[in-house]
Amino acid sequence: MEDCIFCKIVKKELPSTLVFENERIMVFKDIHPAAPVHLLIIPQKHIPTLSHCSEDDAALLGEMMALIPKLAREEGIAVSGTETGTPQGGFRVVVNTGPDGKQDVYHMHIHLMGGPRPWKTPN
């Protein structure tokens, strides 16, 4: 998609702060972080929204989700303390989808937001 900013990031035509990359997925820092840690996990292929995905995309979506625990550990936002009953750390995983879902960039992405509260975002 020629005018898609995330496709341009995939093609390295636009800069990004890259955190992870393989043949299918890219992870980079959100340019306007809403939390101390704010990463965007995107498929390299252009999929406009989660609503455009099907069971054919299950492996890709699963791979994107399964990256999150590793990314959280590397970014220092993994959950600990569940064994002692005092959980600490943590994050939110958000996929804004379509206008009613407040999606702004129409290349599907997973927001990974975490770090010590308070954040800019509500709740």
Q: Find the shortest distance in angstroms from Cβ 2 to ligand 5GP.
A: 15
Note whether 16 binds ligand 5GP by CB under 6 A: yes
Interface map 60-99 toward ligand 5GP (x if CB under 6 A): ------------------------------------x---
AA letter at 60: L
Which residues within the stretch 17-46 sit at the binding site for ligand 5GP (CB under 6 A)? 28-32, 40
Q: Which entry of 32, 46, 52, 109 is annotated as an active-site residue?
A: 109
Note whether 1 binds Zn ion by CB under 5 A: yes
Chain centroid to CA 39: 5
SS (H, E, C) 77-94: CCCECCCCCCCECCEEEE
Q: What is the rounded (10 degree) CA torsion for 2, 68, 75, 38? A: 50
Q: Is 69 helix (H, G, I), strand (E, B) or coil?
A: helix
Cβ distance to ligand 5GP smaller for residue 39 or 72:
39
Residues that are catalytic: 109
